[in-house]
Structure 1
Amino acid sequence: MEAVPAAVEAVCLGESMAVLLPDRPGSLAAVESFRATVGGAESNVAGVLAALGVPTAWVSRVGDDGFGRRLLTELAGHGVDTTGVAVDPDRPTGLYVKEGGPHGPVPRYYRAGSAAAALGPEHLADPAVARLLDGARLLHLSGITPALSDSCLALVRALLARPGRPTVSFDLNWRPALWRRRDPAVLRELLDAADLVLLGADEAEAALGTGDPAELRALLPGPATVVVKDAGHLVTAVERDGSSTSEPALAVTVVEPTGAGDAFAAGYLAGTLRGLDQRRRLRLGHLAAAAALTSTGDQGALPDAERRAALLDASPADWAAVRVGPDGWWPR
């Protein structure tokens, strides 16, 4: 693929997959057709960062198959630089299928032996990857990648230890099925080596034993900032000195929750790169998450730049009055 003609500020590294969406809710046994799209935590973040005006690259591996080519085409279509993506002639692109369940869609993953699982430290010797990392201000990782394989874990460790590395953000993205045969205790080591950590209180409780922001801050002394999203839709950013900033989410009529956490991360990271204060960073994360929640795909339509700026500067009362749904943002 051709490089996006802009200096890359952010690099997102990790697996993305083809996604099959059924034509009706319910069991896959009754589904007759599917709509194909793409998804994956790090590429979702890359796409939203690009939509927010941050020149971004996605680094990964895909199979030499139609799904892999679709991933590259769609990411490039979102303005994401894909020059750091290797095409594997032997391994397939990962796949997941969404199946309707009593509490909403359930993803069914088919990723064993995928191309991305073959990522390893040697990938850093690729001149395209080295160029992207050397020029970036931010590297975004997640807890999915080190769970894929021993080589992927070695790659994440190498990235965190890389001399002169950019600022590293790390989203926990807890996937218990991936960690079933691996030691999840390694996640604490990786999170603590990052500069910025994002996690949900519920997943942190499962993976780290606590979802309390103050306790997580004590558990992870290394990062400059730990951002915790709780079940009540309040997000709290806790600094190394213990000071904190909290901001409630917008009122949203949810269409599909998948991708909202990635969108929040992208909004928050875009605000960080643009030098916004902590409250506006959190608000930009909420705006991006709201857009994703009202879309059937992993990435939704953001309000325009003028509307975003107004919402970032809104009073607490005006912020609380905003309503977001599939038919738009209110008040208009």
Structure 2
Amino acid sequence: MQKRLDVITIGEAMTMFVATETGDLSHVERFIKRVAGAELNVATGLARLGLNVGWVSRVGNDSFGQYVLDCLKKEGIDSTGVTLDDRYPTGFQVKSKVDNGTDPIVEYFRKGSAASHLSTEDFSPGYFSSARHLHLSGVAAALSASSWALLDHAATNFKAQGKSISFDPNLRPVLWKSEAEMVEKLNHLAFKADWVLPGLKEGTILTGETTPEGIADFYLERGVKAVIVKIGADGAWFKTSASEQGTVPAVHVDNVVDTVGAGDGFAVGVISALLEGKTLQQAVARGNHIGSLAIQVQGDSEGLPTRNQLSE
């Protein structure tokens, strides 16, 4: 019997090799193996906070795929919706080490990966109906036309059941044929969501608006219930369909180690708090807090806290 889940998310996981020394990747000789993927980062963060989380994907029947499955088990993430694919490999990436707070260089080896072959065939009605919330990201939407179709199908299903949906645009322009296609496809998904979480630059690209309120209004006018715009060092700005709005200041960090994963940490904070019945102000504050923890350690998900660490 399928256990009840709080959240299901869909995406790609890759094995990640993180340089242990700074400098050009071509000169680095030692790396640490980790697992990476925007949606998996969110699933990991939510699971560490005690939520029952399911992650839907495809991984290759190879050592990298087994490593991903081992990481899911370690984090307590339900892998019922993961298909072991004998035809296509698990993708991987190589990431540089930086010590000055700048974005690291990341090289991806994901073309033709198992996850890029996700499709509506991976939608199990019984499994998805076991969850009360669906979290989607623009990364999985960009993998392939069939992967986008799966996200669209899942969102339509959840919306028809009156269940909540969150959407993080997580723009990856290099994975799309054109910016116009990216904007059209991601906004199509965003309009089905209850909570949309763009960064300011992302929101400008997707809506043509240049202010947080303009971006929020663009989505609110199309049925979204709440829009939270990440505004960098200034924190985040939010507005709801009930015209509740405000700014939540960022958490100051003295030493930024690795910026990758900050947005995923923010999503973890917002989603977990809203599912607990917190106010949007409280949810955004938690998002800022967890995002600040994520950038103080090397790795995409290593800084995401447990429930006890969050309480501290």
Same fold (TM over 0.5): yes
Which residue does the alignment assign to 2:189? 190
Q: 1:34 to 1:168 in 2, by over 3 A?
A: same
CA positional deviation for 1:6: 5.9
1:295 counterpart (282, 286, 297)? 297
Which residue does the alignment assign to 1:82? 79
Contiguous gaps of at least 5 residues in structure 2: none
Which residue does the alignment assign to 2:117? 118
Q: Matches of residues 246-257 of structure 1 in structure 2 within 5 Å?
A: 246-252=247-253, 253-257=255-259
How many Å separate the matches in 1 of 2:78 and 2:274?
A: 20
How many Å separate the matches in 2 of 1:251 and 1:6?
A: 40
How many Å separate the matches in 2 of 1:188 and 1:304?
A: 33
Which residue does the alignment assign to 1:328? none
Q: 1:18 to 1:303 in 2, by over 3 A?
A: closer
Q: Matches of residues 17-96 of structure 1 in structure 2 within 5 Å?
A: 17-96=14-93
2:171 counterpart (174, 182, 196)? 174
Mapped contact 2:204–2:215 kept (Cα < 8 A): no
3-state SS in 2 of match to 1:24: strand
How many Å separate the matches in 1 of 2:252 and 2:152?
A: 38
3-state SS in 2 of match to 1:285: helix
Q: Which amino acid aligns with 1:119?
A: L
How many Å separate the matches in 2 of 1:233 and 1:242?
A: 21
CA positional deviation for 1:288: 1.5
Q: Indicate yes or no: 2:236 matched with 1:239.
A: no
How many Å separate the matches in 1 of 2:210 and 2:105?
A: 24
Which residue does the alignment assign to 2:279? 277
2:269 counterpart (256, 267, 270)? 267
3-state SS in 2 of match to 1:114: coil
Per mean C-alpha deviation after superposition, the further-off stretch among 66-75 and 175-184 is 175-184
How many Å separate the matches in 1 of 2:258 and 2:294?
A: 8
How many Å separate the matches in 2 of 1:269 and 1:171?
A: 11
3-state SS in 2 of match to 1:232: helix
CA positional deviation for 1:240: 1.1
Contiguous gaps of at least 5 residues in structure 1: 311-332
CA positional deviation for 1:134: 0.6
CA positional deviation for 1:7: 2.9
CA positional deviation for 1:71: 0.8
CA positional deviation for 1:308: 3.9
Q: 1:291 to 1:134 in 2, by over 3 A?
A: same
2:134 counterpart (139, 144, 154)? 139
Mapped contact 1:62–1:88 kept (Cα < 8 A): yes
How many Å separate the matches in 1 of 2:142 and 2:260?
A: 20
**Cα deviation per residue 1:278-313 (whole Å; 9 max; x = unaligned)?**
221112112211221111111234566567457xxx
Q: Which amino acid aligns with 2:229?
A: V
CA positional deviation for 1:231: 2.6
Mapped contact 1:27–1:100 kept (Cα < 8 A): no
Q: 1:211 to 1:109 in 2, by over 3 A?
A: farther
How many Å separate the matches in 2 of 1:298 and 1:307?
A: 18
Mapped contact 1:214–1:242 kept (Cα < 8 A): no
Q: Which amino acid aligns with 1:122?
A: E
3-state SS in 2 of match to 1:139: strand
- For the aligned residue pairs, the C-alpha RMSD in angstroms reads 2.1
Mapped contact 1:97–1:109 kept (Cα < 8 A): yes
Q: 1:219 to 1:40 in 2, by over 3 A?
A: same
Mapped contact 2:295–2:303 kept (Cα < 8 A): no
Mapped contact 1:213–1:236 kept (Cα < 8 A): yes
Which residue does the alignment assign to 2:156? 161
How many Å separate the matches in 2 of 1:213 and 1:67?
A: 40
3-state SS in 2 of match to 1:190: helix
3-state SS in 2 of match to 1:9: strand
CA positional deviation for 1:205: 2.0
Per mean C-alpha deviation after superposition, the further-off stretch among 258-267 and 230-239 is 230-239
How many Å separate the matches in 2 of 1:231 and 1:281?
A: 17
2:143 counterpart (148, 152, 168)? 148
CA positional deviation for 1:165: 6.1
